[in-house]
């Protein structure tokens, strides 16, 4: 009887530890995937940050770039110019 109780206890402990181990592995995998997504987003933001810094420098120093932005993004025109809009 003692032997059966001992084996039952060992099986229960082993089952509990196996369950806890599998659950922890699943949690670690989820965290790993989440971390990969965050690292990818950080990389994208770093690239965008570099692009914006270059644009800021160009806006500070490059008159042609300033004019291009004013025309294309803000719709501005030089004094005396006429804008023609064509209907499709």
Lowest-confidence pick of 26-35, 49-58, 65-74: 65-74
Residue bearing the bigger pLDDT, 45 or 2: 45
pLDDT value at 53 more than 90: yes
Decide if 59 contacts 52 (C-beta within 8 A).
no
C-alpha 5/C-alpha 67 separation (Å) is 86
Helix (H) or strand (E) holding 17: helix 2-61
Q: Could you tell me the pLDDT band of residue 83, with boundaries at 50, 70 and 90?
A: confident
pLDDT value at 10 more than 90: yes
Residue 30 CA: distances (Å) to CA of 22, 23, 35: 12, 11, 9
Specify the pLDDT at position 33. Answer: 97
Six token digits for residue 83: 């804008």
Six token digits for residue 34: 């989440």
């Amino acid at each position: 009887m003692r032997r059966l109780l001992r084996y039952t206890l060992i099986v229960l402990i082993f089952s509990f530890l196996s369950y806890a181990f599998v659950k922890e592995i699943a949690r670690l995998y989820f965290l790993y995937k989440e971390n990969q997504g965050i690292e990818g987003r950080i990389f994208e933001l770093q690239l965008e940050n570099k692009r914006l810094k270059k644009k800021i420098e160009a806006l500070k120093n490059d008159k042609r770039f300033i004019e291009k932005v004013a025309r294309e993004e803000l719709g501005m025109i030089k004094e005396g110019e006429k804008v023609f809009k064509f209907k499709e």
